[in-house]
Homo-oligomer: A and B are copies of this chain.
C-alpha cells in the first residue's frame, strides 16, 4: 500500500473475468502503482485470473468492501466474521496487500439512533477475528470512516483510532477518505491528525465525488498534512460516476457528478498526482 492508485469503479463494479480484463490493462496504461478492487461478490472472482493479470501488468492491489445487510457486524458479528474471512481469502488469493473499506458495517447502515456500546462491542469482536484471519493470510485490515449518512457507527478518524485501540490487533489501520472527511472533520487536515501513525491508506475523492480539483476539498491542506505526519501509505483516487442500483442507494448517486470517465481520468488524475509530487508523497 504505497504509491498512487485508482479505485476500480472507474472501469467496473463487477469484478468477474470480464471486469478484470477491462480494468487491469487500462489501469496499467495510466501508470498507476496499484488498483483498489471493489469486492462486492467475492465468490464470483476468478482469483488466479486476476493475480495473473496483475502480475502481467506490474500492478499491485488492495481489495475493499462494505458489509452486506445480513452480515453487519453491529448486529451479527459471527456473520460478519464469516463474510470478512471469505473476502480476506479471496483478496489474498488475488495477491492483494490488504482488505479495507467499511469492514465494520454496511454502506447505508443506519439505525436512526446514535451508536450503542453493544454495537461497538460487536464490531470490535468481528474486527478482532477478521484481523487475526487477515494476519494468517499476510494481509492488513483497514477501516474506513464514512459520513453520517452512509453509516452511524464510525464517521471520523478519531473514532476509527478509538476502535483500533479497542480491538488491539497490530495489523489494523485507518483508511481515510477526503469526501467523507469534508463532511465530518473540522478542517481538511483534522482526520489525518487524529489518525497519524494509524493512517496507511487514503481515498482522494472530491467533495461531490466528481472530478478531483473541481470541488471544495482543500487539496493543499490535505497533502501538506499528509506530508507533515510522514505519511507513507497508499493514495487512491476515487470517483463514483457510474454505479449499479444496488450500490447507488447507499452512496446516494442520483446524477452524474462528472461528465464522463475522461473528465475524471484526464483532469483529476494528473491534478492529484501533481499535488502528491509537489508534497513529496510519491
Query: Could you say which residues of chain B place their CB within 8 Å of the CB of A190?
Result: 224
**Which of the 9-residue segments A7-15, A73-81, A132-140, A211-219 touches chain B?**
A211-219
- Is A113's beta carbon under 8 Å from chain B? yes
Asked whether, in the complex, the Cβ of B214 is within 8 Å of the Cβ of A188, the reply is: no
- Collect the chain B residues with CB atoms within 8 Å of residue A254's CB: 114-115, 148, 152, 155
User: Is chain A's interface secondary structure helix, strand, loop, or mixed overall?
Assistant: loop
Copies of the chain in the assembly: 4
A189–B150 Cα distance when bound, in Å, is 26
The 29 sampled A-B contact pairs (Cβ below 8 Å) are A110-B249, A114-B254, A114-B255, A115-B254, A147-B149, A148-B253, A149-B150, A149-B252, A182-B183, A183-B183, A183-B207, A184-B208, A186-B208, A186-B210, A186-B216, A187-B215, A187-B216, A188-B216, A188-B221, A189-B220, A189-B221, A190-B224, A192-B228, A193-B279, A214-B274, A216-B216, A216-B217, A224-B228, A267-B274
